[in-house]
Amino acid sequence: MKKVLLSAVAVATLTTTVTAGEGTTVKSKVPVLKFSGTHYLGFVNSAPEEGDATNKFETRRNYLQVKAYFKENPKDYMRITLDTHDHEGESGVRLKYAYLYLDSVLPNTGVEFGQAHRPWIDYEEHNAWAYRSISKVFVEESNAGHLTNSADRGINFKTKLDYFSSELGVFNGEGYHNEEDGENLSGEWRLTGHILGTGKKKAKSSLRYANISFFGQQNQESNKHKNEDLNWYGVHAVYNQPEFLLSAQYIDVTDANDAYKGSGYSLNGEYRVAHKWNLLGKYDYFEMDSDSTEKKRALAGVAYEYNHNVEFILNYLKEGGNALNNEKTRDAVMLTAEVEW
């Protein structure tokens, strides 16, 4: 199913009325509504170092999204995204995004206000690691950096120029699925140099680009971080051309609770071997300062684009243990269908 744009304008009332099929009516006080969905469906065979192997089907995530575009400026909109997740054998629904986006509050700068994108993860997923359905990025994955997540309540200023882009935000700091105590705020940033002048273009596999980024967070004391600061920074580089992608990053957690403090690096790549076929790989390494515990993740796989809406991924994953977070060593084989409409 393709993305659906429902559009008609009743000038007097600013109400959209669309009739689809036989008698279905959609009404809105904006001229354009855009609906979309993303789904991560899978099967995993997991063999831990200790204990029995498991086999299970998963609906890892299901996102349902609506954007309401305003008449006065078609680039301004309100977005809401609902997200399902599995927890202790049950599926729940929670709010992922709910923000107002205004496109031109400053020259070349828009702003998100509400439950918005944090500056780093969305950038990496669109420019360097396109396989969120099988692995989170380095700073979010529990058996890697495990420092932050992709959304929080706050404000995020997003600037785009040919050779430079940035996101500068202030947030509650706990993330969208942790307790919001309101006692302290988090300053978060991404500064990216676009060496080939592609800062205003949407990153695509067919585009040649080379980016270098500096990113991080300054989190004051918070409940998630056991009433201690969580201050960290990272550097990231990515190069893409139609045949392949290479990416590397380094992060350093300078001031934090023992469960977070440390440093590490991540490497990932993609080789497009044939039309619709990609080989992919990822390696994460993070060493804890408290006891030199090493967290390691190695992933390799193949992806096939079944059609414009569906991609299948078959991959192998090996994870190393981390005593502080009770992570165990395991080997896993994963089959995934990533669906977008």
Q: What is the distance of C-alpha 90 from the center of its chain?
A: 23
Taking Cα atoms as reference points, which of 214, 220, 213 lies closest to residue 183? Answer: 220
Please state the φ and ψ torsions of residue 208, each to the nearest 5 degrees. Answer: -90, 120
Give the whole-angstrom CA distance, residue 277 versus residue 6: 34
Q: Are 205 and 245 in contact (CB under 8 A)?
A: yes
Query: pLDDT 10s digit of each residue in the chain, 341 long?
Result: 333 333 333 333 344 555 556 677 888 999 999 999 999 999 999 998 878 899 999 999 999 999 999 999 999 999 999 999 877 777 889 999 999 999 999 999 999 999 999 999 999 999 999 999 999 999 999 889 999 999 999 999 999 999 999 999 999 988 888 777 777 899 999 999 999 999 999 999 999 999 999 999 998 776 556 567 889 999 999 999 999 999 999 999 988 888 889 999 999 999 999 999 999 999 999 999 988 889 999 999 999 999 999 999 999 999 986 544 455 688 999 999 999 99
Give the whole-angstrom CA distance, residue 170 versus residue 151: 12
What domains are there in the chain, each with its CATH number?
Answer: 4-340 (2.40.160.10)
pTM over cut 0.95: no
DSSP-H helix ranges across 146-238: none
DSSP label of 125 = H
Taking Cα atoms as reference points, which of 25, 22, 21 lies closest to residue 10? Answer: 25
Q: Show the tokens assigned to 134.
A: 């099988």
Place of tokens 């995020």: 156
Q: Are 146 and 175 in contact (CB under 8 A)?
A: no
Dihedral sign from CA coordinates of 179, 182, 183, 184: positive
